[in-house]
Structure 1
């Protein structure tokens, strides 16, 4: 699946996903000072091979909306625990990146535990190596994203 992030105004960009069968779905995504939330999701889900969260559901046919609009296939692969564990990972990374300081693995694990505990979830295993790869890719994408002008796109594969 192609995942296309398009730079918009200072308030909103656009996320468009084009599946292998040519069908597509899209939504506005809020701009922020770092990589967009959905771009962080992309990196996390791809690196950790998460099969039941956002992008896998979209690839299986779900339409992007405030609450994903599922088809039978995307509903079948959706995994509530993975969805919320993934969201906890993404939120943790966002908070670390927004701080402006260089994120550490220990800081990441501490905040991830807090996020999962607040949702009554088991803490997913994220190795230090995976954390470092995720962080490096997010930083590279953030730099590329920040250098783009309105209407320019970044196309990735999921």
Structure 2
């Protein structure tokens, strides 16, 4: 699946989801001062096995506007994405602290955390750093494409 992130003027960027044998789907991504939320999903989900978050479900045939089932895997990935997104806004913390925050967020929402290692945290951070650099270089109405 191709993810085509287009930087726009105004309050939203666009994400086009391109899958073989399916019509393209476009998602409006609210600007948040960092890379788009769904780009954080890409960084997290592309580095984890098994993959069970939003992009994984869309890649496997779900419509992009589906209502999540709220299963443990989906919820755990969303909490992990939120932990990395908070780090992008607020600055790096030790990997074990990020994992503890993620596990606490999962527990607070009543679902199981997926296992995450410090090595996975560092790999995701490296991907986020690369995406942040690449996204910063994208001009308005230009795109950054990644494969998932």
Do they superpose with TM above 0.5? yes
Contact 1:37 1:94 in 2 (8 A): yes
Separation of aligned partners in 1, 2:27 and 2:89: 23
Separation of aligned partners in 1, 2:94 and 2:88: 10
Q: Name the structure 2 match of 1:129.
A: 119
The residue matched to 1:35 in structure 2 has which SS? coil
Separation of aligned partners in 2, 1:92 and 1:155: 24
Q: Name the structure 2 match of 1:96.
A: 87
Structure-to-structure mapping, 1:39-118, within 5 angstroms: 39-65=39-65, 68=66, 80-99=71-90, 101-118=91-108
Question: CA separation of 1:50/1:39 partners in 2, compared to 1, >3 Å: closer, same or farther?
Answer: farther
Separation of aligned partners in 2, 1:32 and 1:143: 16
What does the per-residue CA deviation read over 1:1-32, in whole Å, with 9 as the maximum and x for residues that have no partner? Answer: 11111111241100111102252211100112
* Offset of residue 110 of structure 1: 2.0
**Match status 1:150 vs 2:129:** no
The residue matched to 2:141 in structure 1 has which SS? coil
What does the per-residue CA deviation read over 1:25-81, in whole Å, with 9 as the maximum and x for residues that have no partner? Answer: 11100112222110111111111034332112211232222xx16xxxxx9xx7711
The residue matched to 2:20 in structure 1 has which SS? coil
Contact 2:52 2:77 in 1 (8 A): no
- TM-score normalised to structure 1 length: 0.85
**Match status 1:119 vs 2:109:** yes
The residue matched to 1:34 in structure 2 has which SS? coil
Q: Matched residue pairs, number?
A: 148
RMSD value, Cα: 1.8
Q: Name the structure 1 match of 2:4.
A: 4
* Offset of residue 111 of structure 1: 1.1
Contact 1:9 1:150 in 2 (8 A): yes
Separation of aligned partners in 2, 1:109 and 1:53: 17
* Offset of residue 85 of structure 1: 0.1
Separation of aligned partners in 1, 2:70 and 2:57: 9
Q: Could you list the structure 1 runs, at least 4 aligned residues long, displaced by more than 3 angstroms after superposition.
A: none
